Structure 1
Amino acid sequence: MMQEPGFEDAIIYQIDPALFYDSDGDGCGDLAGITERLEYVRDLGADWIWLLPFYPTPYRDGGYDVVDHLGVDPRFGRPEDFDRLLERADELGLRVIIDLVAQHTSIDHRWFQQARSDRDSPYRSYYLWSDDEPQDQLEPVFPGVEDSVWSWDEQAGQYYRHMFYRHEPDLDLAQPAVRDALYRVIDHWLSRGVAGFRIDAVPYMVERARAADPRDDGLWLLDDLRRYVTDRRPGALLLGEVDVPVDEYAGYYGAGDRLSMLLNFWMNNHLFLALTRESGQPIRESLIEIPVPPAPARFANFLRNHDELDLEQLTETERKEVLEAFAPEERMRSYGRGIRRRLAPMLDGDHRRIAMAHALLLSLPGTPVLLYGDEIGMGDDLARSERRAVRIPMQWSGKPNAGFSTAPPDRTIARAVPDGPLGYRRTNVADQRDTDDSLLARVRRLVHARAAHPDLAVSTCEVLEAGPDSVLALRFPESSADLITMINLSPGEVDVTLRIPGLEHYAEIVADRPYPPPAAGLTLGGYGYRWLGRDRGVPYGSSLGTHRP
């Protein structure tokens, strides 16, 4: 099979199928609705899409409680709708990855139903059972919601393990039959045309592999997974949810032959510490401390995602600092460790600050991942429980239900938030799409600038001394434009000093506002950002990238 172009320069846009766009007016977003809105994603500048689960599900955990890994839930459409989505994405130059949920199933999955009803069922070994509640010191992923990772099942007459919710029993990947089932799932979706997978809860999968074979601390599972996927689709992306201490990252990459990308929780935590302190220092230190992924692997950097902002990679003191800044009320916090708010309300709805945060994200070495709706500054709904607070309908317009659905409001899968500055009446795509100074326009310019300079995807960069502590300045000297990015995390204007000869040969690529040429001195406005590229024979003022799409 010929090697297809890979994931190295990807810009990923994360979509929740239930909440993006409802094409048939039944109150739930669907695959056909995503297909209708793919041009919006392409116009934004993203070239990969990560779809959250659309499998058959009771939908008690946003679709991660799967009852059939090979199907499409009728509320999201038909298998043909998924095929059409992939066809249209291909026409637009977009690739699609989907969630691979292999750590657990729904309690309603036929495997579990057969396992609980018959100790001699071949599916009994698919799950973890015990006659007595083990004292294994395992802590539930959602403390305060679940008291233990073991629950008694009356029908089975045993305890079963669930690291997440009790309605999501853990699969035992130590069993070859379970791994074979996993590979059948991979086969199915690769054959339909997906470009890869975001793999849920990878460390827990590795823990079960370790129980079967302690070789490489259980990471041999990722070797096998990579080989299996590559044999079927060279260049496929394996994006891992790996929230572990930073010194464990290297094992999940291997020699570049395990996971393609890791979601960079270490950088994410320190990015919010930097925003809290209005200082670039936490990020400067993180860039030094974090391991360099082996080529062609990358880190996947993000601001927010569909879960809580889990701050466990910070010290207790640092975590308290971020919580006090961005979640001052107890209802804004979750599980004793994180924040259940979207980006915009944490940054007080300030479009300058939200755009600066995106400039920061897009400046970091690695692959940027954008959560749907953050590009317009959507808010959240703290009336919804747990992580559901950030899982609200996409705000397309000021029409009822935010233009997400034509169903009666009481029949939508989640309430669209109408009120307040971040509600859909005042924050939506329709109002921002054609406004040059809107948040959407600013983020679009940044994403297009990033797409025009894929050198930022390289795994290394130089951290520059810039003078003010609030400024993060990075240089990518091996890039075609010898790129320099500068971000001011504070609200006050600052003067920047870079010890780089020949600044007169650099030109503006993208900035938060017009600035004098670099040779006249470097200034950054409050929450300002500037990207400069070296003029290699091109007069100052000529475009070195896509300034405005």
Structure 2
Amino acid sequence: MQPLWYRNSAVYAVDPVLFNDSDGDGWGDLRGLTQRLDHVRGLGATCLWLLPFYTSPFRDGGYDVNDHLAVDPRLGDLPDFVELLEKAEEIGLRVIIDLVFQHTSDQHPWFQEARHDRTSPYRDYYVWADEPHETDVEPIFPTVEDDVWTWDEEAQQYYRHVFYRHEPDLNLANPRVREEMYRVMAFWLRLGVSGFRVDAVPYMVERAREADPAEDGRWLLREMRDFVSLRRPNAVLIGEVDVPIGEYDDYFADGQGLTMLLDFWLNNHLFLALARSDGEPLARALREQPPPPRFGQYANWLRHHDELDLERLGDADREEVMRAFAPERSMRAYGRGIRRRLAPILGGDERRILMAHALMLSLPGTPLLYYGEEIGMGDELARPERLAVRTPMQWSDDAGAGFSTAPPERLAAPLITGGRYGHERVNVYAQTLRHDSLLSKTGNLVRTRLGLRELGLGRTRVLDVGRRAVLALRHDHEGSTVITVVNLSADDVEVKVPEGEGDGLVDVLADTGYPPFDAGTRTLGLSGYGYRWLRPRQHLVG
């Protein structure tokens, strides 16, 4: 058993609807995903994050769940899921899945029963009011929903929905709802998943606080952690917790709450640093961020399936990032974020894209990769809201991009065709055999990072190397050291490694060939958007 496997891991996030269609119906499915697991493992990933595959109307990418215990028939069935787990285990991939218990679909049998009968036990599975009233929560999508209350004609009451009106909030203050959640967790843990990415955690805690104000409702996280640990000790709870960093410790709960937090604070400052070509915002964010508890961990990413939410930045900094990376109104979402993939954000510049990956992978924490980023997929801004970054995986240049044999009108989402990011130019097959491709170099970064355990398991310090454009970090674990330097600017630079911060440094990975580290002057050269990961020579063996 590896109780800390998640601390030296690389997670690959997959939307099964959009990854690979095995039966030609236009929808990706679990069998299709199973057929492509070797791609995920070959990239260097050790864990698969599977986005929702449950029975759903798919009005919100499957997060509008109809049945937490069933696979949507368009994606397969439970035997298909078990087969995926077996193949994943065979090739060394763990699997985590989404736990969506802040809300359900309005088509869920619980909600339909609740609407029909005020005396039904399911009525209190949701949050109702005779009149809308002020709450501590606001609409998640303020440009789409102007209130968290919607009138239901059949129920003759208002129901609350922090997300879309077709996603009524579950009432976790009701112990029966929590029992339902634990039944769902037990079911998937028994099948063999290695944990859950827990959706919308602060809103779950808000409902728990209604039941018992102890620990401001965060007793729920301890209860969830205990439940998981008793059934699968090495399983993890990865929390979607977009809150001020001063609250991070509350969600870790002294190591007895969430195992990992998605690190929105560091992610936001990473993009501020990229926008300025200046490592200082990220260095400052690292210094200010509280360390995780002994067995806790942060998770870092460049992009995922939602908008690039910039709420952890101040207004001026947020607008600066917006101007740099989303200059057109159509590129923005909800007044707070960017609805573009990484490659278009960075102008399609492969050097800069690789630098951004090297930067993210050098940060303390567990890296998370979104499907398609390894080949530089683009976005489809004609699609509404967050759907712009949710398009089929581009495997080849054939008519269906290797994703599906179905005609275009039957696809779950339109392919990106033509232009700089069309599947005819950007696809896995075109990059697989090229050692200089984005796919090859990204895979090399991921695999090398996993071999440098100091980055996942160690302590990290920011080094002052005399250049604001360069982020230099020292990572130490059990007497071994790794130093990472990344140049965020387009200009070639020279940096000086401080005395005592590594002697006899040699490159473990670099964007290109460089002269060796000069022990006398203690200087390192970096090309524009260059990166170097180094070890002291004596640490290369043993």
Pick the TM interval, shorter chain: over 0.9
The residue that corresponds to 1:211 in the other structure is 210
Q: Deviations over 1:42-86 (max 9, x none)?
A: 110010010000000001000000000000000111111000000
The residue that corresponds to 2:118 in the other structure is 119
Aligned residues: 539
SS of residue paired to 2:292: coil
The residue that corresponds to 1:162 in the other structure is 161
SS of residue paired to 2:270: helix
The question of whether the paired residues in 2 share the 8 Å contact of 1:299 and 1:366 is answered with: yes
Q: Which runs of 5+ in 1 are unaligned?
A: 539-543
Give the deviation of 1:138 after TM superposition: 3.2
Match of 1:528 among 527, 530, 533: 530
SS of residue paired to 2:477: coil
2:57 aligned with 1:58: yes
The question of whether the paired residues in 1 share the 8 Å contact of 2:101 and 2:204 is answered with: yes
2:79 aligned with 1:85: no
The question of whether the paired residues in 2 share the 8 Å contact of 1:98 and 1:197 is answered with: yes
What CA distance in whole angstroms lies between the structure 1 residues aligned with 2:157 and 2:502? 70
Q: Deviations over 1:430-487 (max 9, x none)?
A: 1111111111111111001101112201363111011111000000133554100000
TM-score (structure 2 length as normaliser): 0.98
The question of whether the paired residues in 1 share the 8 Å contact of 2:239 and 2:262 is answered with: yes
What CA distance in whole angstroms lies between the structure 1 residues aligned with 2:135 and 2:219? 24
2:445 aligned with 1:446: yes
Pairing 1:34-45 to 2, within 5 Å after superposition: 34-45=33-44
The residue that corresponds to 1:138 in the other structure is 137
The residue that corresponds to 1:541 in the other structure is none
The question of whether the paired residues in 1 share the 8 Å contact of 2:27 and 2:74 is answered with: yes
SS of residue paired to 1:182: helix
Q: Deviations over 1:68-122 (max 9, x none)?
A: 0000000111111000000000000100000000000000000000000000000
Give the deviation of 1:499 after TM superposition: 1.1
The question of whether the paired residues in 2 share the 8 Å contact of 1:504 and 1:518 is answered with: no
The residue that corresponds to 1:356 in the other structure is 355
What CA distance in whole angstroms lies between the structure 2 residues aligned with 1:135 and 1:105? 22
The question of whether the paired residues in 2 share the 8 Å contact of 1:468 and 1:496 is answered with: yes
**Would the alpha carbon gap of residues 303 and 537 (structure 1) be closer, same or farther in structure 2, given more than 3 Å must change?**
closer
What CA distance in whole angstroms lies between the structure 2 residues aligned with 1:13 and 1:146? 31
TM-score (structure 1 length as normaliser): 0.96
The question of whether the paired residues in 1 share the 8 Å contact of 2:377 and 2:421 is answered with: yes
What CA distance in whole angstroms lies between the structure 1 residues aligned with 2:495 and 2:2? 44
The question of whether the paired residues in 2 share the 8 Å contact of 1:401 and 1:415 is answered with: no
Give the deviation of 1:12 after TM superposition: 0.4
The residue that corresponds to 2:183 in the other structure is 184
The question of whether the paired residues in 1 share the 8 Å contact of 2:196 and 2:236 is answered with: yes
SS of residue paired to 1:75: coil
What CA distance in whole angstroms lies between the structure 1 residues aligned with 2:403 and 2:539? 49
SS of residue paired to 2:70: coil
The question of whether the paired residues in 1 share the 8 Å contact of 2:459 and 2:477 is answered with: no
**Would the alpha carbon gap of residues 537 and 84 (structure 1) be closer, same or farther in structure 2, given more than 3 Å must change?**
closer
SS of residue paired to 2:373: coil
The residue that corresponds to 2:174 in the other structure is 175
SS of residue paired to 2:369: strand
Q: Deviations over 1:125-158 (max 9, x none)?
A: 0000011111336320001101110000000000
Give the deviation of 1:232 after TM superposition: 0.2
**Would the alpha carbon gap of residues 504 and 135 (structure 1) be closer, same or farther in structure 2, given more than 3 Å must change?**
closer
Give the deviation of 1:280 after TM superposition: 0.3
The residue that corresponds to 1:105 in the other structure is 104
Give the deviation of 1:261 after TM superposition: 0.3
The question of whether the paired residues in 1 share the 8 Å contact of 2:465 and 2:472 is answered with: yes
Q: Deviations over 1:377-406 (max 9, x none)?
A: 100000000000000111111111211111
Give the deviation of 1:8 after TM superposition: 2.1
The question of whether the paired residues in 2 share the 8 Å contact of 1:190 and 1:196 is answered with: yes
Say what the alpha-carbon RMSD is for the aligned residues: 1.4
The question of whether the paired residues in 1 share the 8 Å contact of 2:239 and 2:261 is answered with: yes
The question of whether the paired residues in 2 share the 8 Å contact of 1:475 and 1:484 is answered with: yes
SS of residue paired to 2:401: helix
AA at the equivalent of 1:397: S
The residue that corresponds to 2:221 in the other structure is 222
The residue that corresponds to 1:306 in the other structure is 305
Identity among equivalent pairs (%): 58
The question of whether the paired residues in 1 share the 8 Å contact of 2:457 and 2:477 is answered with: no
AA at the equivalent of 2:282: I
What CA distance in whole angstroms lies between the structure 2 residues aligned with 1:56 and 1:136? 31
The residue that corresponds to 2:199 in the other structure is 200
The question of whether the paired residues in 1 share the 8 Å contact of 2:330 and 2:381 is answered with: yes
The question of whether the paired residues in 1 share the 8 Å contact of 2:453 and 2:477 is answered with: no
What CA distance in whole angstroms lies between the structure 2 residues aligned with 1:481 and 1:342? 36
**Would the alpha carbon gap of residues 21 and 431 (structure 1) be closer, same or farther in structure 2, given more than 3 Å must change?**
same
The question of whether the paired residues in 2 share the 8 Å contact of 1:503 and 1:518 is answered with: no
Give the deviation of 1:4 after TM superposition: 5.4
What CA distance in whole angstroms lies between the structure 1 residues aligned with 2:100 and 2:374? 27
Q: Deviations over 1:325-377 (max 9, x none)?
A: 00000000000111000100000000000000000011000100000111111
SS of residue paired to 2:462: strand
What CA distance in whole angstroms lies between the structure 2 residues aligned with 1:499 and 1:249? 32
The residue that corresponds to 1:279 in the other structure is 278
SS of residue paired to 1:472: strand
The question of whether the paired residues in 1 share the 8 Å contact of 2:18 and 2:28 is answered with: yes
The question of whether the paired residues in 1 share the 8 Å contact of 2:265 and 2:312 is answered with: yes
What CA distance in whole angstroms lies between the structure 2 residues aligned with 1:489 and 1:6? 30
The question of whether the paired residues in 2 share the 8 Å contact of 1:455 and 1:480 is answered with: no
AA at the equivalent of 2:157: Q
What CA distance in whole angstroms lies between the structure 1 residues aligned with 2:346 and 2:162? 32
SS of residue paired to 1:239: strand
Q: Deviations over 1:214-252 (max 9, x none)?
A: 000100000100000000000101000000011000000
The question of whether the paired residues in 1 share the 8 Å contact of 2:172 and 2:207 is answered with: yes
What CA distance in whole angstroms lies between the structure 2 residues aligned with 1:502 and 1:316? 37
AA at the equivalent of 2:292: P
**Would the alpha carbon gap of residues 459 and 175 (structure 1) be closer, same or farther in structure 2, given more than 3 Å must change?**
farther
What CA distance in whole angstroms lies between the structure 2 residues aligned with 1:307 and 1:460? 30
The question of whether the paired residues in 2 share the 8 Å contact of 1:242 and 1:262 is answered with: yes
AA at the equivalent of 1:533: R
517-526 vs 203-212, which moves further: 517-526
